[in-house]
Amino acid sequence: MIPFDYRRADDVDSAVATVTGNPAAAFLGGGTNLVDHMKLGIAGPELLVDVTHLPFDRVEELPDGGLRIGANVRNSDLAAHPLVRERYPALAQAVLAGASGQLRNLATTGGNLLQRTRCVYFQDVTTPCNKRTPGEGCAALHGYTRYHAVLGASRHCVAVHPSDLAVALTALDAVVRVRRADGERTVRASALHRLPGAHPERDTVLEHGELITAVDLPPLPLAANSRYRKVRDRASYAFALVSVAAALDVADGRVRDVRLALGGVAHKPWHATLAEHVLRGGPTTVDAFNAAADAELAEAQPLPDNGFKLKLARNLIVSVLRALAGEDTR
């Protein structure tokens, strides 16, 4: 760990200006990921700008019936919020499926989205990693790949994004609000994270100095019938092998509308648009659910250690859709 300066931000504009103007500065949220990276030598910011005292610490109801989640809302508070639990149960379930109670008490909404991959090679500076040091090579590609990507990877990077929250937000059409030096912009949650391509060092579309201030959840009635299921190598406190966030609206034995996203399969939360397309208007049958999963996974390219993820993802999609369809499953 190398010495760094610490500054507590009192207002958002100066925080954004400070980090924008200093390539070696970083925002500090809960610190549950960044501080680890500083110890491990993965990150070495000269200046930490602590944004946790900025007034983004509330969950507010929007006039249209949606919710605005402040970037500083702690994961525990987000998962416990009555309106989140009532209107977007998959979101609360996703947050509770992540990390541990202690970490959730500290981790923020914005920080959760910006956490970095848990690829063991990324996390060990003695092995090459293009995400950590562009051009160095990817140790994971021919290494231990049980947890790695089966969709959308490149030869430069096969890492997966570890956030559960991000998978649920992707499924729920959330919009990320971002402050930048010259104003504000919004990014769909499903478009926040990138596929690795030739630049795995960039996890998201955000530019240096851009600060997440809130996440907006649109009014989405079908989200009341939503679910997050995460399969992992122990019952708690482990990253996903595969996870599924889904919301389903059924009428007369047919899928009126659906949202589906996968975690643990790609460099970003995977919005399963192909499966959604197959499902919409179709019957709520196990065959139809299987066909939808197959459509989504048709292009998957597993690595030597993670071929099981295809069957696991397929089974998990079907299992979650069956549960959401309930007695309407035929």
Q: How many residues bind other proteins (CB under 8 A)?
A: 32
Least distance between other proteins and beta carbon 138 (Å) = 12
Return left, alpha or beta for 252; rule: phi > 0 is left, psi -120 to 50 is alpha, else beta. left
d(CA 190, CA 112): 15
Considering only 1, 62, 224, 251, the residue that binds other proteins (CB under 8 A) is: 1
- Based on CB atoms, which residue is closest to other proteins, 217 or 246? 246
Out of 50, 124, 201, 328, the residue judged to bind other proteins by CB under 8 A: 124
Contact 34, 52 (CB under 8 A): no
Please give the full DSSP string across 225-245, using - where no structure is assigned. Answer: GEEEEEEESSSSS--EEEEEE
Judged by beta carbon, residue 6 or residue 308, the one nearer other proteins is 308
Least Å from the CB of residue 271 to other proteins = 21
Amino acid at 202: R
Place of tokens 């790695």: 148
Contact with other proteins (CB under 8 A) among 235, 252, 298, 327: 235
3-state DSSP assignment of residue 159: coil
What separation, in Å, do the N-terminal and C-terminal C-alpha atoms of the chain show? Answer: 57
CB atoms within 10 A of CB 67: 22
Would you count residue 139 as binding other proteins (CB under 8 A)? yes
Output the smallest distance, CB 142 to other proteins, in A.
7
142, 185, 256, 330: which one binds other proteins (CB under 8 A): 142
- CA-nearest of 80, 90, 88, 97 to 62 is 88
Q: Which of 86, 233, 287, 299 binds other proteins (CB under 8 A)?
A: 233
Please name the residue that has the structure tokens 């003695």: 126
Q: Which part of the chain contacts other proteins (CB under 8 A), choosing from 48-56, 63-71, 123-131, 166-174? A: 123-131
Which SS3 state, helix, strand or coil, does residue 208 take? coil
Q: Of the two residues 58 and 311, which places its CB atom closer to other proteins in the complex? A: 311
User: Binding to other proteins by residue 82, rule CB under 8 A?
Assistant: no
Residue range at the interface with other proteins (CB under 8 A); choices 190-198, 208-216, 218-226, 235-243: 235-243
Contact 158, 140 (CB under 8 A): yes
Site residues for other proteins, window 294-323 (CB under 8 A)? 308, 311-312, 315-316, 318-319
Residue 327 in contact with other proteins, rule: CB under 8 A: no
Closest CA to 146 of 131, 159, 165, 133: 159
Binders of other proteins in range 157-216 (CB under 8 A): none
Tell whether residue 41 is a contact of other proteins (CB under 8 A): yes
What is d(CA 220, CA 23) in angstroms, rounded to the nearest whole number?
39
Q: From the CB of 309, what's the least distance to other proteins, in Å? A: 8
Q: How far apart are CA 144 and CA 6, in angstroms?
A: 37
- Contact between residue 263 and residue 240 where contact means Cβ atoms under 8 Å apart: yes
Residues 236-255, mask of contacts with other proteins (x by CB under 8 A): xxxx-x--------------
Q: Could you list the residues that contact other proteins (CB under 8 A)?
A: 1-3, 39, 41, 118, 120-121, 123-124, 126-127, 139, 142-144, 231, 233-239, 241, 308, 311-312, 315-316, 318-319
